[in-house]
Amino acid sequence: MNQYKKVAFYTLGCKLNFSETSGIAQNFEKGGYAKVDFEERPDVFVINTCSVTDNADKKCRNIVRKAKSINPNAYVAVIGCYAQLKPQEISEINGVNLVLGANEKFNILEHVEKLEQESKDSAVVLGGEIDDVTEFFPSYSIGDRTRTFLKVQDGCDYSCSFCTIPLARGKSRSNTIKETLKTASEVASTQAKEVVLTGVNLGDFGRYNNESFHELVLELDKLEGIERFRISSIEPNLLSNPTIDFIATSKKFVPHFHIPLQSGSPELLRSMKRRYKREIYTSRVEKIKTLMPHCCIGVDVIVGFPGETEEKFIETYDYLNELDVSYFHVFTYSERANTLAPKLEKSVDRKTRDERSKKLRILSAKKKRAFYQENIGKSFPVLFEAENNNDFMFGFTSNYVKVKTKYNEDLVNQVKQVNLKEIDRDGLFLIDFE
C-alpha cells in the first residue's frame, strides 16, 4: 500500500477521455486512494490529455504548472493522446514524473506505486508503439448524477488527412456485445438515467468480432434500468438505414444524431480522405427528417482546410444553409504533425480561417434558433439536471432542446413530460408540465 493517499484528476478533450478518467479514478479508489479536487493538495495529480489541436498541448503544460504550484511535492502523471503522440516533449516539462502512452495508461496505479523508488530528477516515460495497442478497456463516467458517458469503442482504422487520432489511440477495437452489455448493466445500477454511447469511430463497433453497431443498439434497447440512450457522434457512412429506422420507433434511443460532415465541398471531402460522398450525407439527413421531423441533427465541420478556396467555402456554407440540420460544431483547421493535409494544397491564412469560422458559427446559431422555433408548443420528455443556478434548473429534451424551470429538488435526475412554451432571451425553453 502506497502512503500516497490523495489523488486528483484533470481531463482535457472528448467524452471518451472523461469516461476513461472516471474508470481510472475508480481503480485508484479500489487501491485505497481518496479522490479529491485539484485544489485540495493531492499527493498524485493525473492529467488526461487531448491532442486534437496545438492549443491542447499548451493547455497541458499550463495544468502541469498549476499542479506543481498547488503541491510541489506531489507526483504528476500525464496520460492520454498528447502523452502517446509526444511523450518526450511532455517528459521535459518541469514537474512531470510519469508519462504513459495508450498501452500503459490503464495500469497507471501500478506505475504510480513504483514512483517512490524512482528519482524525481527525470520523468518515467512509457510511451510505446501505437501499433502495439490492441486491447480494449471499457469504461464509463461516474459523478454526473444524470448522464453517463459509456465507452463502447476505441481507436480508428480510417486515415482522414487532417487527423492524428489513429496515431494517438491506435486501431479500431471494441468488446463483444455480450461484454458491452455487462458494462452497461453496471451503469444501469448507478443513478444515471441517460447513457451517452461514446467511442472514437463509434459506428465501427464490433467489426473485429463479426458484430455490428446496429446489433449493439438492438441489444442495448432491451436492457432494463436505463431510460435513455444517446449516440454521441457517428460517421455518416456507418449510420445505417436499419439503425435510423429502429431509432425512429425506439422508446429508449433518443431522436438526436451528431454526424461529422467536415466539408460540403466534394473536392475537399476527397482530399480530407473522408469515406463518403456528399450525397450520402444528404440522404442520411433526409431519411432521418422524414421518419423523425423533430429529430435534432448536429454537424461537425472544419473551416480553413488546405485548398479551401472562397468558392469551396461558399459551397460548404450554401450546402449547410440548405440542409435541414440543427446546429454545427465548427473547427478551425490546424496543422498536425504526421498528417497528410499540410502537404496537400496551399494553406489558408489564419485571418481567413477565423473569418470563415465566424460565418459558420453565425449560421449555426441561425439554424439552432429555427430548430428551437419549430419545437414551440410541442411536448417532449425532459431529463432534469442537478445544477441549481440562481434558483433555476435545466434539462434536455430527448431531441436535445435545452429547457429551464424553477429549481425543484424533486425534479433532479427525473424524466418528466413537458410542453415547450416559449424561448427566453437566453435561448432556453420555458415549459409547462403535463
Distance CA 400, CA 254 (A): 9
Please give the distance of CA 227 from its chain centroid, rounded to a whole number.
Answer: 21
Distance between CA atoms of residues 212 and 205, nearest Å: 6
Q: Is 71 or 172 the residue whose CB approaches ligand SF4 more closely?
A: 172
Q: Which of 1, 25, 21, 4 has its CA nearest to residue 12?
A: 21
Strand, helix or coil at 168? helix
For residue 5, give the 3-state DSSP assignment.
coil
- Please, what's the b/e burial string for 102-139 (b: 16 or more CB within 10 A of its CB; e: otherwise)? bbbbbebbebbeebeeeeeeebbbbbeebeebeebebb
Q: Which is nearer to ligand SF4, 252 or 336 (CB)?
A: 336
Q: Tell me how far, at minimum, the Cβ of 5 lies from ligand SF4, in Å.
A: 38
- The binding site for ligand SF4 (CB under 6 A) comprises 156, 158-160, 163, 165-166, 200-201, 235
Residue 307's region, left for phi above 0, alpha for psi from -120 to 50, else beta, is left
Residue given cell 496515431 in the structure block:
167
Sheet arrangement for strand 296-303: 256-262, 296-303, 327-332
- Quote the least distance from Cβ 165 to ligand SF4, whole Å: 4
- Please state the closest distance from residue 275 (CB atom) to ligand SF4, in A: 8
Q: Name the minimum Å distance from CB 169 to ligand SF4.
A: 8
Report in angstroms how near the CB of residue 13 gets to ligand SF4 at its nearest. 12
Which residue number, 165 or 285, has a Cβ lying nearer to ligand SF4?
A: 165
- Relative to beta strand 228-231, strand 256-262 is unpaired
Between 195 and 202, CB nearer to ligand SF4: 202
- In whole angstroms, the minimum distance from the beta carbon of 231 to ligand SF4 comes to 15
Q: In this complex, which beta carbon is closest to ligand SF4, that of residue 144 or of residue 267?
A: 267
Least separation in angstroms between residue 392's CB and ligand SF4 is 37
Residue pair 224/264 in contact (Cβ under 8 Å)? The answer is no
Q: Measured from the CB atom, is 158 or 317 closer to ligand SF4?
A: 158
CA 11 from centroid of its chain's CA atoms: 12
User: What's the min distance (Å) between Cβ of 158 and ligand SF4?
Assistant: 4
| CA dist., res. 11 & res. 339, Å (int) | 25
C-alpha cell at 135: 486491447
